Amino acid sequence: MTEGAEAHQVHPAPGRALHAYLLGRLEFDHLLALQRRLVYDVAGDRDAGAVILCDHPPGVTIGREGSRVHVRPRPEELTSRGWPVRWVSRGGGVLLHLPGQVACYPLIALDRLGLTPGEYLHELQAIVLDLLRAYDLPAEADPVRPGVRVKGRRIAHVGVAVRDWVSCFGIVLNVHPDLEPFYDVHCDGDPLPMTSVQRESPARVRVAGVRQKLVELVAARFRFDRVSVFHAHPGLVSRSPFPPGSAGGGLKHAVPTRTR
C-alpha cells in the first residue's frame, strides 16, 4: 500500500481508455512481470488504465496478512500435489488458486480518481457485489477481511498493492473450481471453506460471461469511456512455451478485438 500521502480529488480527463487483457491461464510469475510492465505504463499515462482477467495453475499465494499455518498440507504433500507456495506483496491472507476461478486485476491510477487505497478496496468489493446480484446471489462484503461472502462462506478474495498510486492485484472469484481442496487451505484465515458462484446459483454459470461482466463493471465504476479488449500482450509472447503463431502460442501482436 502507498503510505505517507493522501489522494487528491482530481476530475479524470474525458476519453479515458481501459485496456482489458483476457489472457486465460497465466503462470503466476508471468502475471507478476506483466503487472510490473502495466504499472509502469499507467504511471506514465495516468488517465489510461488496464485490467488483467485470467486464472492461474494450482498453487498458493500468501499476502501480507497471511500465515503459513493457514495452509494445512505439509511441504512434501504440497509438492506431490504440484502446489507451489509464494509470498506476495499484496494485502490479504492466504489464497488457493485453482482452475475455475476468475482473477480480475485492475491497474488504475488511484490519485486520478481521488481514491485512497482503503476506498479502492471498498470499490472492488462493490464490483463483486454487483456481479453476484446479477446472478441473484445474496452476497455481502466481509467487514473484517476484504472479500465477499454468500451465505456465510467466502466466495471472493480481494487484496491489492499500490505502487506510485497505481493499483495491482485485485479480485479472485470462485466461479466453478473444485471446492474440496478449500478444506485444506484457510483462505484469508477463514476456517470455513470457500464456496463458488456455481454452487450457490441454480443456473449454469459460464466463465466467459463472468469475465465480460467484470470488464463492464470495472469500466463503469472507474469512469472509463472506452474499452479495448486484447487476448495477448507483447510482453508475454516470448514467455510462451509455444512458437509465436502456433496452435498453442501467443499472438504476435496484441491487437484489440473489440472496442466500445
Q: Of these residues, 54, 104, 168, 187, which one is catalytic?
A: 187
**Contact indicator for 149, 70 with CB cutoff of 8 Å:** no
Backbone angles phi, psi at 223, to 5 degrees: 60, 45
Measure the CA dihedral 162/63/106/246, to 10°.
130
Question: At 193, which amino acid appears?
Answer: P
Q: Which residues contact 247 (CB under 8 A, 6 or more apart)?
A: none
Q: Which residues of 22-37 are buried (b: 16+ CB within 10 A; e: fewer)?
A: bbeebebebbeebbeb
**Whole-angstrom Cα distance, residue 168 to residue 108?**
8
187 is catalytic: yes
Catalytic residues: 187
